[in-house]
Amino acid sequence: MSQLEIRGLGVAIGGNPILHGIDLTLERGTLSAIVGANGAGKTTLLRAISQLLAPSGGEIRFDGRVLAGTPPHLLARQGLVHVPQGRQIIAALTVEQNLLIGAGSLPGLSGADREARLQAEFERFPVLRERRALSAGSLSGGEQQMLAISRALMMKPSLLMLDEPSLGLAPQVVSRILATLRELAVGGMTVLLVEQVAFLALKYADAGHVMQNGRIVLSAPGAELLKDKALIEGYLG
Full pLDDT tens readout for the chain, 237 residues: 689 999 999 999 999 999 999 999 999 999 999 999 889 999 999 999 999 999 999 999 999 999 988 999 899 999 999 999 887 899 999 999 999 988 877 777 788 888 999 999 999 999 999 999 999 999 999 999 999 999 999 999 999 999 999 888 988 999 999 999 999 999 999 999 998 888 889 999 999 999 999 999 999 999 999 888 777 777 665
pTM for this prediction: 0.94
| Strand-pair category, 207-212 with 31-35 | parallel
Task: Give me the domains of the chain, ranges plus CATH numbers.
Answer: 1-79+159-237 (3.40.50.300), 87-156 (no CATH)
